Amino acid sequence: MNIASSLKAGVVIVASTIGTIVASDLILRSVGYLPHVDYDWMFGEHVNSRVPDDKIILARPQFLSEKYYAVDPMRETVVTLGDSFVEGYPVAMKDSYPAVLGRLLGARDRPANVINMGLGDSGPDQHLRLFKEHLLPRLTPDIVVWSF
């Protein structure tokens, strides 16, 4: 087998693979198949599933709800912004550092509204978009703790 025929065979294999993927995608889209975008398949069901957002690749569903941003106006508002460590994955939400921060502030007679804006599988660009697109239009925090 010479180089030219090996090259042709390689091109045919690559073209066939790409054609199959494109055809499969078009068929699935034509029947309305939209896969669930989440990591449930890997880690099992998690309370912080993600939903698509036009300006943020993925967001926790509560970030889209006005109720999530309801605060006691008599308290300072602390926003924690960051990745999965801020979100609290893989511990229970009550053990996430924003939840612990809220309890510690309350124990020191400085009760505060602590809003957890942690988003796993994200980077600083997504955190900033989340902050600007979802949080700032709804409230003005007194303190922002941004970690990544």
Cα angle for residues 71, 72, 76 (degrees, 5° grid): 90
Residue type, position 21, single letter: I
Which pLDDT score is estimated for 36? Answer: 55
User: Given CA atoms 128, 65, 122, 25 in this order, what sign does their dihedral have?
Assistant: negative
Which pLDDT score is estimated for 56? Answer: 58
Q: What is the pLDDT of residues 96-131, one digit of tens each?
A: 999 999 999 999 999 999 999 999 888 898 899 889
Which pLDDT score is estimated for 41? Answer: 46
Q: Are strands 51-52 and 58-59 parallel, antiparallel or unpaired?
A: antiparallel
Q: What is the pLDDT of residues 25-65, one digit of tens each?
A: 889 888 887 665 544 444 555 555 565 566 656 778 888 88
Helical H runs in 31-88? 40-43, 84-87
